[in-house]
Structure 1
Amino acid sequence: MLFDVPLIPGLRLQEELITPAEETELIARIGDVELTPFQFHGHEGKRLTHSFGWRYDFVDGSFREAEPIPPWLHPLRARAAAFAGLAPEELIHVLLIRYDPGAGIGWHKDRPVFEQVVGISLGSATDLTFRRRLGDRRFERVKVPLPPRSAYLLSGEVRHRWEHGIPAHDSLRYSVTFRSRA
């Protein structure tokens, strides 16, 4: 797959958004944050998370301010914003995720309180999978490899008409996801 050719309108990909040294430092910083199991409608996910800036509560559907985005994430936010064609302050939410072996994330669309989604993949490689309904039981599916240190942008059609997910895998992986407000 060529990273400069979009497979789905609104999807952009970039390899090597950050250097290996920056990746190592980010993983260490994420390790210093208190991550908690993801909660979704009474179920506990295998991935561990922490939100900064804003927080969407999947238990009660509320959207509220969270602790501010820490200064150590500001350079990454600036780089993610430049990649998305946004000003850094437009990325109001950041979600840190640790995927332990066996963890993934099922089919979903990001909540409508958010608009642009920029994800940075850290640690091991994975696939970002997409699907959209073509009828009662048929889906169009696309799988995009995410190497370590790569970034993706979801906007427009891919953001609003497609679901996406990350399959469970056998190695430790992290992600940093920035979102703008709708």
Structure 2
Amino acid sequence: MTEQLSLFAPEKTAPEGLRYAAEFIAPALERELIGQISALPLQPFQFGAFEGKRRVASFGFRYDYTLQRLQSAEPIPEWLLPLIEKVEAFGGPSTKIAQVLCTEYDVGVGIGWHRDKPHFDRIFGLSLGSPCKFRFRRAIGEKWQRYTLEAAPRSLYMMAGESRRVWEHSIPGVEAPRRSITFRTMADQKR
């Protein structure tokens, strides 16, 4: 049996610091959150002079790409507070969410390769409505090491350590409408 197993490629290992929880919330809460996000004054994502196809609303803080600095944003809405408590419990005792980003993706919309701004520390993402391929890559010499997380609806991921600071991440165009809520801690906090 071991000889046969050696014919298959080894299973790819998740980036260090990446945690995933399937079914983090119930379907009823997912529907409620999708409704809350749909009711927000979502705006196209601004990346300097460019406008992204996804629509967003930031709370607590937002990064201004034109000024290249963090700005204050609207306070985090009360309807997100119970969810933040649950995310903070998942992150551990020192977790304090300071920034929230609600995002709407239409069919075909994704996000290119990037790392979140260094002002933020740990990143948590709640996937709503449809699955997505959450891709990771890091340079190893002249090649890329890659990993794909199949983020199911109602699941939560956390990026910390190398998955946050070394690996880039992206989402290819989604096949069905999707919403997400991203929760961020600040870099100057204790971990």
State the TM-score bracket (shorter-chain normalisation).
over 0.9
Report the counterpart of residue 156 of structure 1 in structure 2.
Answer: 161
1:146 aligns with 2:147: no
Of 107, 114, 118 in structure 2, the residue corresponding to residue 108 of structure 1 is 114
Q: Secondary structure of 2:117's partner?
A: coil
Gaps of 5+ in 1: 1-5
- Structure 1's consecutive aligned runs of 4 or more residues displaced over 3 angstroms after TM superposition are none
Report the counterpart of residue 185 of structure 2 in structure 1.
Answer: 180
1:9 aligns with 2:25: no
1:126 aligns with 2:136: no
**1:43-101 CA deviation, whole Å, 9 max, x = no partner?**
1111000100111111221212111101100011111111111456x100000000011
Report the counterpart of residue 9 of structure 2 in structure 1.
Answer: none
Q: Secondary structure of 2:67's partner?
A: coil
Q: Secondary structure of 1:30's partner?
A: helix
- CA-atom RMSD in angstroms: 1.4
- Cα distance in 2 for partners of 1:87, 1:172 equals 34
Q: Secondary structure of 2:149's partner?
A: strand
Report the counterpart of residue 92 of structure 1 in structure 2.
Answer: 98
- Cα distance in 1 for partners of 2:50, 2:152 equals 29
Of 42, 46, 57 in structure 1, the residue corresponding to residue 49 of structure 2 is 42
For these two proteins, the number of residue pairs brought into alignment is 176
User: TM-score w.r.t. structure 2 length?
Assistant: 0.89
Larger Rg: 2
CA contact (8 A) 1:78 1:87 kept: no
Percent of aligned pairs sharing the same letter: 46
User: TM-score w.r.t. structure 1 length?
Assistant: 0.93
Report the counterpart of residue 59 of structure 1 in structure 2.
Answer: 66
Gaps of 5+ in 2: 1-12
